[in-house]
Amino acid sequence: MIYGYECMKEKIEELKSAIAAAKAATIEEVEALRIAYIGRKGRVTELIEQFSALSGEQKKEFGRDINGLKNAAVERIAQLKELVENAVNSSSASVESDIDITLPASVQSVGSRHPISAVKQQILDIFHRIGFVTADGPEVEDDWHVFGALNFPENHPARDMQDTFFVDKDILLRTHTSSIQVRVMERQKPPIRVVCPGRVFRNEAISYRAHCIFHQVEGLYIDKNVSFADLKQTIEYFAKECFGEQSTIRLRPSYFPFTEPSAEVDVSCNLCGGKGCAVCKGTGWLEIMGAGMVDPAVLESCGIDSSVYTGFAFGMGVERITMLKYGVKDLRLYFENDERFLEQFKAVY
């Protein structure tokens, strides 16, 4: 649009008033004002482009006025920008002032290993140090690996020792990790030296001293000339490593279908030093496992020549060992996931 000289002077005064009254609340609004007034196509720039159409005297006066208008626009936009930035910084400072950086940091709760997992690993580490390796197997097993190969004849009364969860006629949830030992003997030639950890299942009523799910670690050693003395020495080593150097063991005659002779193993009570207390029921002894020499019939059923090789086996409940080591009186606590209980084992290896 082409303006006359008088019209341009009126326009300059009008723009001065508009620029002086301009306001902005954000950086974006400030930028919009800059573009509207002094941008490449802004209203002030539009007036400057008509400077060449004026006469000499008019150019002198108009140049002074238009420069004053442009400077006023630049100054006002800079002022608005500063006001907006100060307001933003003031708001941020207000938020930050609400934070007391001298306060101690809030402590985040750190988890820990479950006591069963920790003690199971302790047991495995003890046997690893004397040459045993870990073996594993399925929890859902067949009758042969859980019973048949371990000298449990079909319909034999010994099967009643373990109340079993059957999935099908010949498929069941393993009642002991001895099934892993069978699988190892079937696929590996002696010498065999393994520990078999795992979860097992028995159809038992849940109480403070029994559960339908629990954990075992069983061991097996087969080689030439393995004797009962080797079994006793191995268990004695385990007891001292697990319960302390002062610990002693005793073996009581017992019966298991897969070992002959068989024994129940007791360790001296680590709470009373063998003097007798409520935990050991005044006897000074705590039962920790069953053990014995592998029955020759078991070796033969797994394809191992019993005239050449002998071996021993043992098995213990991880819950039982944990109870004895740390004085836990109710094994249901292991399954309840109560943080108050679990926090007590944060320092356990």
For 45-54, the pLDDT digits (tens) are 777 777 666 6
Residue 158 pLDDT: 61
Per residue in 224-281, pLDDT (tens digit) is 999 999 999 999 999 999 988 989 999 999 999 999 999 999 998 877 766 777 767 7
Q: Which of 91-95, 109-113, 175-179 has the highest average model confidence (pLDDT)?
A: 175-179
Measured from the Cβ of residue 125, the count of other Cβ atoms closer than 10 Å reads 11
More confident residue, 144 or 97: 144
**303: confidence class by pLDDT, cuts 50, 70, 90:** very high
Alpha helices (H) in the chain, listed in sequence order? 5-20, 27-38, 43-48, 56-97, 115-128, 143-146, 178-187, 228-243, 296-301, 318-326, 339-342
Task: State the virtual CA torsion across 135, 139, 140, 143 in degrees, nearest 10.
Answer: 60
Residue 138 pLDDT: 94
Distance CA 234, CA 239 (A): 9
Residue among 266, 285, 267 nearest 275 (CA): 285
**318: confidence class by pLDDT, cuts 50, 70, 90:** very high
Prediction pTM value:
0.67
Contact 118, 318 (CB under 8 A): no
307 pLDDT exceeds 60?
A: yes
2 pLDDT exceeds 60?
A: no
More confident residue, 270 or 212: 212
Contact 276, 286 (CB under 8 A): no
Second CATH level (architecture) for the domain 115-345: 2-Layer Sandwich (3.30)
Asked which of 67-71, 156-160, 202-206 is least confident by mean pLDDT, the reply is: 156-160
Contact 58, 5 (CB under 8 A): yes
